Each structure stands twice: as structure tokens, then as C-alpha cells.
Amino acid sequence: MKSFEINTGRLTLKPLGREYLETTNAYALDRESVKYMEFLPYDDSNETLEFLKRAEAEWAKDVPNTYEFAIIHEGRHIGGLSVYYLGDIVELGWILNKESKGHGFAAEAALGAIDYFSKSRGTTHFIASCDIRNAASYKTMEKIGMTRKCRYEGRKNRASDEIASGYKYELILN
């Protein structure tokens, strides 16, 4: 896996891999913390491990299409940040362990990634989405300068059998 870091004021973003299995499980298996997420919770530690292996394989590429970061605060892994390239557009996603929510870490990590990828790859178009009930997530999107583009129907969160509504947000840099 490549040596890679993005540093912000309080955080370091590092490639997510198997060494973070236990600390990834702290949020990826917590059904309450991820109830509004499309791809979480995982069923067990083996599913988390498979995700981490895929993340490592992507990091091994010369130019990854997906960047999965461990969010590190004061030497401790507190969450994850995803950067998915969809052509010239980047989709951002984030998750924090429950002890780290409410401190601005998701916004800081997202802004660090936006800054890095806009400078290193010339990316100017960023998007994100969330369940409409996930106020913390859409407030983070607004905090980082994203604008709500639409409300959509048909969102399926993994922890629920119901079909939900979502918000899509966008940030276009000049």
C-alpha cells in the first residue's frame, strides 16, 4: 500500500487497510450509528475485513478510482472518508465512531480531501448524498460549502427494509 497522508489542522487522513480492522468495526458494525447509511452496517468482522482488503487493492493501483481513508485524530482512528471518482466528478462520503461525532471532524476531513484532490488531480466537481433524516450529514455538506441540488426517492439504507428519501448535494469549485 502506498504511503500517503493528507494533513488538516487536527486530523490526518491515511490509507484505510487491514490494520484498522478493530477500529473500523467500532463504527461499521454499530447499527444505530449507521442506520441512515446505504452500505453499512456490515454483518460481521469478516465483511469489514473484505471491505478493507478491497480498499488496499485500490490503493495499490497507480491511480486509484476510489480512495478509502482512515480519519486519525490524536493518533486514534475515529472514522472513515471515501473519495469515489465518477469520471471527473468526486463523490464524498464519511462516517465517524459515535464518540467523535459533533466535533467538526467530518467537515474537516472532507475539506482536506477537497483541497488535496482539487490541487493534485484538478478536480472541481464534488457531490455527496444522505438520507433526509440524517441532519448531521446534510449540515456537514452545507458547512463545507455544498448546495442541496435535489430531494430524491428510492434510497435504500442497508439497516432498514424501508425505502427512504435522500438529498443530493454538490460543490463546484471555480
Report pLDDT digits (tens) over 82-114.
999 999 999 999 999 999 999 999 999 999 999
Mean pLDDT value of segment 134-139: 95
Per the model's pLDDT, the better-predicted residue between 22 and 162 turns out to be 22
Give residue limits of the domains in the chain.
6-172
Q: Is 172 helix (H, G, I), strand (E, B) or coil?
A: strand
DSSP string over 45-88: HHHHHHHHHHHHHHHTSSS-SEEEEEEEETTEEEEEEEEEEETT
Q: Is the pLDDT of residue 156 over 60?
A: yes
Mean pLDDT value of segment 59-66: 93
pLDDT of the residue at 2: 59
pLDDT of the residue at 3: 67
Q: What is the pLDDT of residues 1-58, one digit of tens each?
A: 556 899 999 999 999 999 999 999 999 988 888 888 888 778 788 999 999 999 999 9
Q: b/e string for 113-137 if b means 16 or more Cβ within 10 A? A: bbebbbeeeebeebbbbbbeebeeb
Q: What is the model's pTM?
A: 0.93
pLDDT of the residue at 7: 96
pLDDT of the residue at 30: 87
CB atoms within 10 A of CB 138: 20
pLDDT of the residue at 19: 96
Q: Identify the architecture of domain 6-172 in CATH.
A: 3-Layer(aba) Sandwich (3.40)
